[in-house]
Amino acid sequence: MKGKILAIREVKISGESSGVGMTAGAGSGAVAGSYLGGSSRANIIGAIGGAVVGGVAGSIAEQSLSESGAFEYIVQQDNGQIIAIVQTNSENLKVGNPVLILRSDRVRVIPDSIPTGQ
């Protein structure tokens, strides 16, 4: 199917958090924190504090790795129907560009370089 890009806006895509970053950060922070202080009590307090700080840092790191930038394209198909498609802009698409709408397990748009009528 063919269409034309009516509008483009930048969007952020967030992946699902698996909890691995928080768990790994908490574990590492607890181990590192347990070496603080000279007494058993100080080591326990250090481990707890290290786990909290490490967990927060690990969660933030995982979130930043699972986010990516993309673009939402508002496309009017040749049949008049308007659809929205989110993908990267590796094709350097712009408003007004004619596009081919590819449907498989995902919907994508690519530049239409085939002349009209063929």
69-113 confidence digits (pLDDT tens):
788 999 999 999 999 999 887 788 999 999 999 998 888 898 998
- Nearest in space to 15 (alpha carbons), one of 84, 68, 73: 68
Residues 14-66 pLDDT 10s? 655 566 656 656 666 555 556 666 677 666 665 566 666 666 666 666 555 54
Looking at the domain that runs over 2-14+68-111, which CATH code has it been given? 2.40.50
- Nearest in space to 43 (alpha carbons), one of 30, 26, 27: 30
All structural domains of the chain with their residue ranges: 2-14+68-111, 20-66
pTM over 0.85? The answer is: no
Q: Give the neighbor-by-neighbor strand order of the sheet with 82-87.
A: 82-87, 67-77, 2-14, 98-103, 107-111
